[in-house]
Chain A
Amino acid sequence: MTNLIRHRLFWPIAVLVVLLASNLVFSDNFFTITLQDGHLYGSLIDVLRRSAPLVLVALGMTLVIATGGIDLSVGSVMAISGALACLLIGDLSNPDSTTKVLLVVGAAIVLCLVFGLWNGFLVAVLGIQPIIATLILMVAGRGVAQLITGGQILNVHSSPYRVIGAGYFLSVPVSFLIAAAAVALTVALTRRTALGLLLESVGGSPTASRLAGIRARRITIMVYVFAAAFAGVAGLIYSSDVSSADSNAAGNLIELNAILAVVLGGTALTGGRFSIAGSVLGAVIITTLDITAVSVGVPVETTLLFKAVVVIILCLAQSATFRAKVFGRFAAKRTVTA
């Protein structure tokens, strides 16, 4: 039992279970999954579908945070990728051509890679503090997105494009499949290779890592590129889901949710050890929280407050110091009586 509680994923899983269970109380059919027109429907499917962008962004954020950095620009990169994709699709003679849409998607992701390189360059080569370095793109990126869309909301009508965010493959939401693939890719990239170990080493002690012969600079640049690429994909999912590019709404405040997801998942902001499964759980928890707020009937104006309270409780539950203070007292009393 103690081993179970000590497991780093115990508390995130517990919270997720509690959240889902509380939904059951308030809405009877929360766990009902039905098949309509060959698509799976239901609140749980909704959770999976709507978690996708946050999961993607949180994955990149996890790796960046593992190196001891942080990436505030992911929301803006989302906006840029959606904006470029919608602009290019709008210019297509045949927006329903799958090949052309794939090319457009590729172009948007390449642009994001360039922005990731920029972040990595600022942090690893120029040595600017990550929070400042990525703040530049966080602010400037929205401007770039607005430049691309000409300051307007670009609407597109392209059935292949719409598949990314709103489509289904074998009854399963495509956005969920993309997120799942991204998780698998990240796990493979970090745990099947030595990248994870080197990341944790750089995050744990940059000086010692350099003296152990690790090329920290390359690795650092790589994680920012990675984060931007995943943010770009998240941007495509978002913009495809709403069939438009909104430079202000796309990825708004997602960097904070992503950081929260990473922290909830048990990765420390100081860098070092990271948990991909934890971050994914964190992202799902945050999305579930949003959906729960609606299903439980929390008034719209207090949703954010509701979210904050749950997050505080979760953070306290995860803090060993806090647990020791609360439960340690009981334990001490018990030994005294015994």
Chain B
Amino acid sequence: MVLQMTGIKKVFPGVVALDGVDFRLAPGEIHALMGENGAGKSTLIKVLTGVYDIDGGEIELGGEKVRFTGPLQAQQAGISTVYQEVNLCPNLSVAENIYIGREPRRFGRIQWSEMRKRAKRSLARLDLDIDVSAQLDSFSLAIQQMVAIARAVDLQAKVLILDEPTSSLDKDEVDQLFAIMHRLKDQNTAILFVSHFLDQVYEIADRMTVLRNGKLIGEYRTADLPQMQLVSKMIGKELEALEKIEEQTREVPVRGEPLIRATNLGRTGAIAPFDLTIHAGEVVGLAGLLGSGRTELARLLFGADRPDSGELTIDGKPARLSSPRDAMTKGIAFSSENRRTEGIIGELTVRENIILAMQAERGWTRPIPRRRQDELVDRYVKALQIRPADPERLVRDLSGGNQQKVLLARWLITEPRLLIIDEPTRGIDVGAKAEIQRLVAQLADGGMAVLFVSAELEEVLRLSHKIEVLRDRRLVEELTNGDDVDADRIMQTIAGGVTP
């Protein structure tokens, strides 16, 4: 074993995040760390990378007892990490990002050309050929992720930790990443892999360790643990929840005047002019690859960006949405895919985050009475099972899935007529995913129109009455959901196989 963690304990005020967890990692293996949000995966990783000190237990690395007091020490000991959200400096060049903190130097001066050459070489190992002197944020999120991996790999790591590396990658890029992981594995690197995509875990992991509520559930060989059993170990109960939704037959809502109708609406460079109608009680799914214009379309309907062509009518009346606020007064809500930067306000409490949109709509002079706030927040914390169920906790301390629920609650209390949700289930666990899907179905049954944006086709298929398929920033096809529509059919359109 290259890494052996025994009886790890980590306590935060009021929470035991890790309770006597054992974890071991062999050289040349890909080991998946599994668990729901808040199970302790992130904490375990942060302990391993020296971000947190432990309150109990032992860490042995290469047979020696270690205790890290900072990320740098862990790095020097041979533990490299690529975090869930790209953790680089967007304003520096690609080469600088790869070599920051360990630039090739001569007489104390940085050798820029040498650095660029090395950067080029290390990216070439990942089959990536980009301009390494260009600023990092001029590239897509997927490329940035690859750069982060290049940096980690280049540190000559004994242990490489990949925390949700695939959540912003498309299929080809995932394959590319897996190829790299296999190569590293052959070079005897131990890889710790965290992902919410079970298929990916089963495709690549040799073994897995399952955590639940900060406790170790067990260590298994992937081959010995069927997918359904894994999920029930993760959530601690059988998986009826997910299946129930699948059985549910979705009734097509009564037609009539659409709630919202976009005609030739478009914005240069973001999304080509498109036509779209959404009726009350209807769930419209937006399918397409990352960067196909899904988010851009949604933002136009919310007034977050202004269209430069076409018209929008709401209830048959022409409407101009020049700001999110305009859209909100028309009863439209939008929950962004970028939870952290465009959704939650981390330093505010759960309560404050939930009432924020409602309060904004009322204006600052009419505060929501505290009792009413507590009522609303209480109801939604319960209904959406936000955990921990403490409205006065800072939102940034919650796990990703719970932050997502807070955002949903924020919009639901404004009682919107059209709810636009962009990737609400990305990076969150199976249990929470099922809850959110069920909620969307319920809301639509209650007469709310929903525009559901997701990269997961199964999810879109399960929930939508109508599916809009996007490709290359263009709405290419509208499919009415039915027996003849399945994931393959949508994939074909996305891939450009079917002429609309």
Give A211 to B344 CA distance when docked, in angstroms.
10
| Cβ 8 A contact of A214, one of B334, B341, B356, B368 | B356
Among B304, B342, B345, B365, the most chain A Cβ lie within 10 Å of the Cβ of B345
Interface string of A196-226 (1 = CB under 8 A from B): 0110110011011111111100010000000
Q: Are B367 and A209 in contact (CB under 8 A)?
A: no
Find out whether the CB atom of B357 lies under 8 angstroms from the CB atom of A208.
Answer: no
> What is the total number of residues of chain B having a CB less than 8 Å from a CB of chain A?
31
- Provide the residues of chain A in CB contact with B347, threshold 8 Å: 200, 204, 272-273
CA distance A257 to B364 in the complex (A): 30
Chain B positions within 8 Å of A209 at CB level: 345, 356, 360
- A27 and B203 alpha carbons, distance in the complex (Å): 78
Q: Tell me whether A197 and B356 are in contact in the complex, defined as CB-CB below 8 angstroms, given that A207-B341, A208-B343, A272-B347 are known contacts.
A: yes
Given A198-B360, A213-B325, A273-B347, the answer on whether A208 and B366 have CB atoms closer than 8 Å is no
Complex CA distance for A194 and B341, rounded to whole angstroms: 22
In the docked arrangement, what's the CA distance between A83 and B389, Å?
A: 56
Query: B168 contacts which chain A residues (CB < 8 A)?
Result: none
Across the interface, A198 reaches (CB within 8 A) one of B304, B343, B346, B364, namely B364
Asked if B328 is an interface residue, CB under 8 A from chain A, the answer is: yes
* B356 & A211 in contact (Cβ 8 Å cutoff): no
How far does the alpha carbon of A273 sit from the alpha carbon of B345 in the complex, in Å?
Answer: 11
* B348 contacts A194, C-beta separation under 8 Å: no
Complex contact A208–B342 (CB within 8 A): yes
| B342 pairs with A198, CB closer than 8 A | no
Chain B 364-379 near chain A by CB (<8 Å), digits 1 or 0: 1111100000000000
B352 touches A (CB below 8 Å)? yes
Contacts of B425 in A (CB 8 A): none
Cβ-neighbour of B367 out of A194, A208, A212, A272 (below 8 A)? A194
Q: For B362, what are the chain A residues with a Cβ–Cβ distance below 8 Å?
A: 194
Using a Cβ–Cβ cut-off of 8 Å, how many residues does chain A contribute to the interface with B? 22
In the bound complex, do residue A208 and residue B344 qualify as a contact, i.e. CB atoms below 8 Å apart? Answer: yes
Complex CA gap A194/B324 in Å reads 19
Q: Which A residues touch B323, using CB under 8 A?
A: 210, 215
B443, chain A: closest CB distance, angstroms: 19
Decide if A213 touches B357 in the complex (CB within 8 Å): yes
Query: Please, which residues of chain A bring their CB within 8 A of the CB of B325?
Result: 213-215
A327 to chain B minimum Cβ distance, whole angstroms, is 15
Cβ of B410 within 8 Å of any chain A Cβ, yes or no, is yes
Given the contacts A211-B304, A212-B410, A213-B324, A201 and B345 also touching, CB distance less than 8 Å? yes
Chain B nearest CB, measured from A169 CB (Å): 31
Output the least CB separation between A201 and chain B (Å).
5
* Chain A, Cβ-Cβ closest to B351: A197
Bound Cα distance A123, B478 (Å) = 44
B359 close to chain A: CB less than 8 A: yes
Minimum CB–CB distance for A222 against chain B, Å: 9
CB-based contact A195/B410 at 8 Å: no
Q: Which B300-345 residues have a C-beta within 8 angstroms of A?
A: 302, 304, 323-325, 328, 334, 336, 341-345
Confirm or deny: A333 has a beta carbon within 8 angstroms of a beta carbon on chain B: no
Assess the B348–A201 pair: CB atoms within 8 A. Answer: yes
Who on chain A is nearest to B333 by CB? A213
Cα distance A49–B362 when bound, in Å?
Answer: 40
**Interface residue from B341, B352, B361 paired with A208 (Cβ < 8 Å):** B341
How far, in whole Å, are A213 and B345 apart by their CA atoms in the complex? 13
Chosen A-B contacts, 23 in total, with CB atoms closer than 8 Å, are A193-B366, A194-B362, A194-B367, A197-B352, A197-B355, A197-B367, A198-B364, A200-B347, A200-B352, A201-B345, A201-B348, A205-B341, A205-B345, A207-B342, A210-B323, A212-B356, A213-B361, A214-B325, A214-B356, A215-B323, A215-B325, A215-B360, A272-B348
Apart from A194-B363, A214-B325, list 15 A-B contacts with CB within 8 A.
Answer: A194-B362, A194-B364, A194-B365, A194-B367, A197-B352, A198-B360, A198-B364, A201-B345, A204-B347, A209-B360, A210-B304, A212-B356, A212-B360, A212-B410, A215-B325
Residues of A within 8 A of B (CB): 192-195, 197-198, 200-201, 204-205, 207-215, 219, 272-273
